[in-house]
Amino acid sequence: MEPWQKDLINIIETVADEVESFFQGINDMVDAFFELTEEITEQVHNNIATDIDQYLQELAEPLLEVYWDLEDVVSDVDPGFPYTVEATTEHQPACIGCSNYHGQVYGGNLLVCAMHPQGWDDASCPDWEKNHREF
User: How far is residue 64's CA from residue 53's CA, in Å, rounded to a whole number?
Assistant: 16
Residue 135: its pLDDT value, please? Answer: 46
The answer to whether 89 touches 119, Cβ cutoff 8 Å, is: no
Residue 77: its pLDDT value, please? Answer: 53
Q: Which residue has the higher pLDDT, 107 or 129?
A: 129
**For the chain, what percentages of helix, strand and coil (3-state, to nearest 5) are there?**
55, 5, 35
pTM above 0.85, yes or no: no
Residue 80: its pLDDT value, please? Answer: 64
Each residue's pLDDT tens digit, 59-100: 888 888 888 877 666 555 555 677 888 888 888 888 988 999
